[in-house]
Structures are given as structure tokens and as C-alpha cells.
């Protein structure tokens, strides 16, 4: 069993890394200084969802996280859609973060993009191996690496203070293009905040989960939000927004542009490599636990579990394999947006799930404040962000849902057929006894 602080570190390991080290530069490229507003909007949405998730996790303790919340409140079919989308989204997200890992590792050498993909595949395999060893191994690794990551971000902030140009031209025009660009940047930035749901999947493996999981979710979100906003300011001070683009190593590029000490560039690179690695581990953990819970609920085949001690080993291998395949969807921005479809769609249902449980008068040890306004805001903001994801994300999301439903109906038909055969056998035995 892990403690509330270990659960917090696993969540922080998932949150801190993807957004700042990999995707913050792309958000700035899309919205310019308006990326600050984009991250604030995303932080507000993440806060509403975190409050929803905290209340739900205090009432429903399960490996499945959002999948279990939806299944219990809205039924099996809705639960399956959310669980399937979440599992696939975790795998796709792991590939995006792994590309960031490869980008930072090769920052000092000029090699073709295929080498970044190769390194990304290797880090996914290593992350899967750690999860394969069990959740306690994951918690020990995350505990150490998260402190290193936060220390690196603090170093980056200090460097941006001394080497950045804190002048008006670096922050104006605040909205250089259409206002919709801010919403589009927010849809990308939300990728960075999705990590707190990893914590919700750890309930059965956490001490006193009804209190520990809400605590871990809110602390992880608060720490990451403060760091995100400050670092976006620092990135804009270090390098003009026009020079950011769709790359997996924006912090390194900003330091090089500002002519920061080479030792600092190396240090931030190492921290970024560590951060992207911890996020990859956390995503594979969350994806495998979601598949495990769905299999235990007989919505996916039993062989997926492959559980030994505290690791769903076959589920881990499936998520890792899908993550490696997802490396070939496109660049890091395309992969992140594809992942966000399932993430935001499933999060949009947390507000409704809270309302349903309140109607059922189910008690828990945490209640979201400002009910039902927080829940309404979470649903409305989720809809706005989803609208900005783009056509490719919707295509991938639609295909994912269709494939998932095929597996769902096949599994249900097998289960129904088994029950029918058993009933026939019992009936035949009764006839034989009567004879």
C-alpha cells in the first residue's frame, strides 16, 4: 500500500513534464503571450474537474478512476466508452511525452527525427518494465524523480529572471492573432493537467483512500498550476513568442536563445529527460489500471489482467504496445490533441456524475464546494475546449469508440453465451434427474 504523499508524487510525476517540458512552446506558438490566458483557463477547468474527481474518489474506491465513476453513476455502456477512451488516451499521451524525452536527449546533436522515435519507443519499454514490477516500484521511482523535476523548474525560473527580457515587447501584442487561438492553445494545454486522474486510479492501492486520494488530487493540481503559470512568463521573457514552434524541447530552445550558461542548459535538459520519463511511467500505470478494472468488471477479456502481486502485467504490455504504435500518428502536437479527445470527453462527465451521486445521497469524506455551480462550469468549459480540438482528434476519437464497442459487444456476447450454455446444462441435468 502507498501513502497519500506517494499518490501525490505519482500524480505530480504525470502532470509536471508533459505540459511544460514538451507542449508549452507549441501553446505559445499558437497564442503568443495569450498562452498565459490559455493556461489560466485550463487551470480553472482542471480545478473544477479536480473537485469533481476528489468527491467521486471519496465515494467510489476503484482502479478504474473515471471509468468506474461513470459506470456506477450512468451505467455499463457509458462506463465502457469512458474507460476505453481513457485507456487509449493514456497510451497515446505516453507516446507524445516519450517524443519529448527523445527530443531533449538529442538536443545537443543533429540527428534525423527517426532517432527521436527510436528513443521514444525505448523509454516506453523501460517505463512499462517499471510498471511490470509493481506499483510500489513505481511509487519509489516517482518519489525521487518528482523532487528533481520541481528543482529543475525552480532553476529555470531563476534563470529566466536574470537572463530574460522583462520588457513590454516580449508580452505584446497579448493576443497576436484571433482570440480563438487562445481556446485552441487551452485545448492543447489541458494535456498537461490531465495527470491528476492517474491518482484516482490508485484508490485500492492507497492507505485510507477516501481521504488520501482527494488530498493528493488537490495538492498535485495546486503545485503544478503555480509552476506552469510562472514558467510560461519565464519562457516569454527568455525568447520571443514568434520563435517558438512545434518541437518537443521548448525550454532548452529558450535557454539557448537567451545565451544562458551551458551548464544550466545541460541541467534543464537532464531534468526534462527525467520529467518526461516520470510522466511516461505514470501514464502507463493509469492505462493498465483502467484496463484491469474493465477486465475485472467483465467488460474486457479476463486474459488482459495477467495480474501478479501488484501489477496487471498483460494490461501493461497492451498499453505500452499501443503507445509505441501511436508514435507514428504525427508530430507531438497532433499526438497530444488526439489524446485530448478521450481525456476531455471523459472529464466532461465528472460534473454529471457528482450530481447523480448527490441525488442518490451517497456519502463520502469530501464534498465539492459551490455545488452545483462548479459542476455546471466543468461541463460548459469542457464543451468549449473539445470544440477547439480539430477534425483529426474527432476522427481518431470516433474510430476509437467504434473499435471499443466492437470489443464490448463481442465480450458481452461471449458472456451471454456462456450463461446461456450453463442454463441449458442445468435444465438438462434437471430433466435427467426427473427421469
Chain segment 362-386, per-residue pLDDT in tens: 888 888 889 999 999 999 999 998 8
> How do residues 285-324 score in pLDDT, each as one tens digit?
878 888 887 888 888 777 776 666 556 778 888 899 999 9
Weakest-pLDDT range from 86-95, 315-324, 418-427 = 418-427
**Residue 286, CA distances (Å) to 80, 196, 211, 401 in order:** 16, 10, 20, 19
CATH code for position 413: 1.20.1740.10
> How do residues 38-71 score in pLDDT, each as one tens digit?
988 988 998 898 888 888 888 887 766 777 888 8
Residue 285 maps to a domain: yes
> How do residues 218-249 score in pLDDT, each as one tens digit?
888 888 888 888 999 999 999 999 999 877 78
Residue 15 maps to a domain: yes
Residue 283 maps to a domain: yes
Q: Which contiguous run of DSSP H or E holds residue 311?
A: strand 311-312
DSSP string, 193-244: HTTHHHHHTTGGGBSSHHHHHHHHHHHHHHHHHHHHHHHHHHHHHHS-GGG-
Residue 51 maps to a domain: yes
Confidence (pLDDT) at 427: 47
pLDDT-derived band at 339, boundaries 50, 70, 90:
confident
205 three-class SS:
helix
Confidence (pLDDT) at 377: 95
Residue 434 maps to a domain: no
Q: CA nearest 154: which of 40, 268, 60?
A: 268
* pTM of this structure: 0.80
Residue 407 maps to a domain: yes
Report the number of distinct structural domains present in the chain: 1
Residue 425 maps to a domain: no
Confidence (pLDDT) at 356: 94
Task: Give me the domain span that covers residue 95.
Answer: 4-419
Amino acid at each position: 500500500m502507498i501513502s497519500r504523499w506517494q499518490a501525490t508524487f505519482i500524480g505530480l510525476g504525470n502532470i509536471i513534464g508533459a505540459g511544460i517540458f514538451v507542449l508549452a512552446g507549441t501553446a505559445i506558438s499558437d497564442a503568443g503571450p495569450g498562452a498565459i490566458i490559455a493556461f489560466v483557463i485550463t487551470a480553472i477547468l482542471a480545478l473544477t474537474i479536480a473537485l469533481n474527481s476528489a468527491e467521486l474518489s471519496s465515494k467510489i474506491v476503484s482502479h478504474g478512476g473515471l471509468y468506474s465513476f461513470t459506470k456506477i453513476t450512468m451505467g455499463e455502456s457509458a462506463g465502457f466508452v469512458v474507460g476505453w477512451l481513457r485507456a487509449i488516451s493514456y497510451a497515446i499521451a505516453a507516446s507524445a511525452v516519450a517524443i519529448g524525452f527523445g527530443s531533449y536527449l538529442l538536443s545537443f546533436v543533429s540527428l534525423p527525427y527517426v532517432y527521436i522515435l527510436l528513443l521514444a519507443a525505448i523509454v516506453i519499454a523501460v517505463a512499462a518494465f517499471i510498471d511490470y514490477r509493481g506499483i510500489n516500484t513505481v511509487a519509489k521511482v516517482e518519489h525521487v524523480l518528482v523532487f528533481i523535476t520541481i528543482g529543475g523548474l525552480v532553476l529555470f525560473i531563476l534563470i529566466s529572471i536574470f537572463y530574460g527580457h522583462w520588457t513590454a515587447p516580449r508580452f505584446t501584442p497579448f493576443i497576436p492573432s484571433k482570440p480563438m487561438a487562445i481556446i485552441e492553445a487551452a485545448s492543447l494545454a489541458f494535456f498537461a493537467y490531465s495527470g491528476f486522474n492517474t491518482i484516482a486510479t490508485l484508490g485500492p492501492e492507497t492507505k485510507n483512500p477516501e481521504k488520501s486520494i482527494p488530498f493528493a488530487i488537490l495538492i498535485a493540481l495546486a503545485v503544478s498550476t503555480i509552476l506552469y503559470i510562472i514558467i510560461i512568463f519565464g519562457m516569454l521573457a527568455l525568447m520571443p513568442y514568434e520563435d517558438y514552434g512545434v518541437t518537443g524541447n521548448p525550454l532548452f530552445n529558450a535557454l539557448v536563445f537567451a545565451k544562458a550558461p551551458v551548464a544550466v542548459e545541460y541541467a534543464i535538459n537532464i531534468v526534462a529527460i527525467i520529467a518526461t520519463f516520470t510522466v511516461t511511467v505514470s501514464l502507463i500505470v493509469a492505462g493498465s489500471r483502467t484496463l484491469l478494472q474493465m477486465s475485472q468488471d467483465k467488460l474486457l477479456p479476463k486474459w488482459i489482467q495477467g495480474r501478479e502481486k501488484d501489477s496487471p502485467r498483460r494490461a501493461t504490455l497492451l498499453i505500452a504496445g499501443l503507445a509505441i504504435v501511436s508514435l507514428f500518428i504525427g508530430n507531438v502536437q497532433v499526438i497530444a490533441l488526439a489524446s485530448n479527445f478521450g481525456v476531455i470527453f471523459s472529464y466532461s462527465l465528472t460534473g454529471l456524475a457528482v450530481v447523480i451521486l448527490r441525488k442518490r445521497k451517497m456519502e463520502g469524506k469530501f464534498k465539492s464546494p459551490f455545488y452545483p455551480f462548479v459542476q455546471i462550469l466543468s461541463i460548459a468549459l469542457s464543451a468549449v475546449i473539445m470544440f477547439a480540438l480539430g477534425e483529426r482528434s474527432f476522427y481518431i476519437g470516433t474510430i476509437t469508440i467504434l473499435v471499443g464497442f466492437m470489443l464490448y459487444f463481442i465480450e458481452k456476447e461471449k458472456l451471454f453465451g456462456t450463461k446461456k450454455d450453463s442454463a441449458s446444462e442445468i435444465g438438462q441435468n434437471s430433466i435427467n434427474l426427473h427421469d
